[in-house]
Amino acid sequence: MSTTIDMAESSNAHVNEKAALIGAPARPGGWKKGIAIMDFVLRLGAIAASLAATITMATSDQILPFFTQFLQFEASYDSFSTFQFFVIAMAFVGGYLVLSLPFSIVTIIRPHAPGPRLFLIILDTVFLTLATASGASAAAMVSLAHNGNQDSNWLAICNQFGDFCAQTSGAVVASFITVVVLMVLVVMSALALGKH
Amino acid sequence: MSTTIDMAESSNAHVNEKAALIGAPARPGGWKKGIAIMDFVLRLGAIAASLAATITMATSDQILPFFTQFLQFEASYDSFSTFQFFVIAMAFVGGYLVLSLPFSIVTIIRPHAPGPRLFLIILDTVFLTLATASGASAAAMVSLAHNGNQDSNWLAICNQFGDFCAQTSGAVVASFITVVVLMVLVVMSALALGKH
């Protein structure tokens, strides 16, 4: 009789393990583990995107091949305070995402404990805002560098500094990927917290 | 006997009402009603801030008192595509916040149902991102209008267009207030979803 019970239990555990792997709701709460694993994987993607944004922006530097007696024409990210803010903010976001990995692992091990998820969703929201602010302000500057503005007599600089513009645009795209992933992380955490 | 039970019930309801008003956890779950009421009040504040941001930005328009034969100097929000985006995005945020009020009332009436809260936290996150993006990009432009940029030869225009700059700065501040309130709303909803 006891053997039968053991077998039933082990088969149940097997089903549960499988459910966690494919993310299917085999029993109530099994899908929470699936969400926790997806959270971890998405977090790795966000780390890659945020570090790519930071490094691409921080290495953007172009010196034009012509110069006058007194002047050399150079564009680098630290010419623009918005781009400096971008580098610092995205480095913070990347650092936070790395430090949040252990908490994401805790939610995989204990998918039903609300504590680590609450901690993650609150900090994710804060760093989502930071990443959005830096990405959007850098996007405004990149768009200005591309198009200029007639009324205020700001000329487009991308004709001269083509490589610089391409590199900063790439960094902005990477920061927007980080923002989208962070939004998905917040929504997933909210779903896992809300359903029982 | 039945009279006694009625009295006990009404006294219990009275305590509960009081707990909801002062937000104290008189019984488990009573604080959820307090959070729902605070959510509603903060939402009203966010509506005011987002509408103030929209209207302040949309009415920013300055014509300089001198002009040449062919040219009149005018700065208005639709000279800058960033400011146009700001007006449209903040109007969307304000509209969403107005439409979300009924759902906030539902969470006050049924503080233990996770459905409306989930709905609110997900849409709040989306519109938090939208509000942050518009506020941050407008802030980048306002800062450029104030300080200019040496390396790209973009001159500050706030010396000429002082009123325009003051008005757009005010709109940016109002949008940041909206962002902070939306962040608090997301965190409060997360707390209410997480604790049982």
B53 touches chain A (CB under 8 A): no
Q: How far lies B81's CA from each of B134, B137, B178, in Å?
A: 11, 10, 21
The vertex-B50 CA angle with B48 and B54, nearest 5°, equals 115
d(CA B32, CA B192): 6
User: Per-residue pLDDT for A137 more than 80?
Assistant: yes
What is the number of other CB atoms lying within 10 angstroms of the CB of residue B4?
Answer: 8
Distance from CA of A22 to the nearest CA of B (A): 24
| Interchain CB distance below 8 Å, A153 and B155 | yes
A163 touches chain B (CB under 8 A): no
pLDDT tens for A146-161 read 988 887 888 888 888 8
Instruction: Say which residues have a Cβ less than 8 Å from residue B190's Cβ, sequence separation at least 6.
Output: A118, A121, A122, A125, A189, A190, A193, B121
* Per-residue tokens: B128: 């938090």
A72-76 and A61-67 beta bridge pairing: antiparallel
The mean of the pLDDT values for chain B is 83
> pTM for the complete prediction?
0.81
Test the B interface: residue of A152, A183, A191 with most B CBs within 10 Å: A152
pLDDT tens for A67-106 read 666 666 677 888 888 999 999 999 999 999 999 999 999 9
Nearest CB neighbour to A193, from listed B135, B150, B190? B190
Average pLDDT over residues B4-19: 47
* Per-residue tokens: A47: 């780390």
Please choose, from the candidates A158, A183, A179, the residue with its C-alpha nearest in 3D space to the C-alpha of residue A75: A158
User: Per-residue pLDDT for A121 more than 60?
Assistant: yes
3-state SS record for chain A: CHHHHHHHHHHHHHHHHHHHHHCCCCCCCHHHHHHHHHHHHHHHHHHHHHHHHHHHHHCCEEEEEEECCCCEEEEEHHHCHHHHHHHHHHHHHHHHHHHHHHHHHHHHHCCCCHHHHHHHHHHHHHHHHHHHHHHHHHHHHHHHHHHCECCCCECCCCCCCHHHHHHHHHHHHHHHHHHHHHHHHHHHHHHHHHCC
E-strand ranges in chain B read: 61-67, 72-76
Which pLDDT band holds residue B69 (cuts at 50, 70, 90)?
low
Nearest CB neighbour to B136, from listed A133, A145, A196? A133
Q: How many CB pairs under 8 A join A and B?
A: 133
d(CA B48, CA B54): 10
pLDDT tens for A15-71 read 444 444 454 444 556 888 889 999 999 999 999 999 999 999 998 888 777 666 666
Q: Look at residue B24 and give its three-state secondary structure.
A: coil
Please choose, from the candidates A105, A95, A117, the residue with its C-alpha nearest in 3D space to the C-alpha of residue A47: A95
Nearest CB neighbour to A129, from listed B74, B128, B144? B128
Q: Look at residue B148 and give its three-state secondary structure.
A: coil
Instruction: Please count the helices (runs of H) and the strands (runs of E) in chain B.
Output: 5, 2
According to the model, what pLDDT value does residue A122 have?
94
Which pLDDT band holds residue B6 (cuts at 50, 70, 90)?
very low
Local structure of residue B78 (DSSP, 8 states): G
| Interchain CB distance below 8 Å, A125 and B125 | yes
d(CA B59, CA B66): 21
Which pLDDT band holds residue B15 (cuts at 50, 70, 90)?
very low
Task: Classify residue B195 as exposed, middle or buried by CB count within 10 Å of its CB (0-12, 13-18, 19+).
Answer: middle
Please choose, from the candidates A196, A16, A36, A106, the residue with its C-alpha nearest in 3D space to the C-alpha of residue A24: A16
B123 touches chain A (CB under 8 A): no
User: Per-residue pLDDT for A114 more than 90?
Assistant: no
Write b or e for each residue in B66-93: b if 16 or more Cβ atoms lie within 10 A of its Cβ, otherwise e. eeeeeeeeebbbebbbbbebbbebbbbb
Task: Classify residue A149 as exposed, middle or buried by CB count within 10 Å of its CB (0-12, 13-18, 19+).
Answer: buried
| Interchain CB distance below 8 Å, B114 and A145 | no
| ipTM here | 0.80
Regarding predicted confidence, which is higher, B108 or A5? B108
- Chain A positions touching B75 (Cβ under 8 A) are 151-152
d(CA B107, CA B63): 48
d(CA B193, CA B190): 5
| Interchain CB distance below 8 Å, B114 and A179 | no
d(CA A59, CA A65): 18
Which pLDDT band holds residue B132 (cuts at 50, 70, 90)?
very high
B80 touches chain A (CB under 8 A): yes
B109 touches chain A (CB under 8 A): no
Q: What kind and span of H or E run contains B125?
A: helix B114-147
| Interchain CB distance below 8 Å, A137 and B134 | no
Domains of chain B: 31-194 (1.20.120)
Q: Which residue has the tokens 């960094």?
A: A171
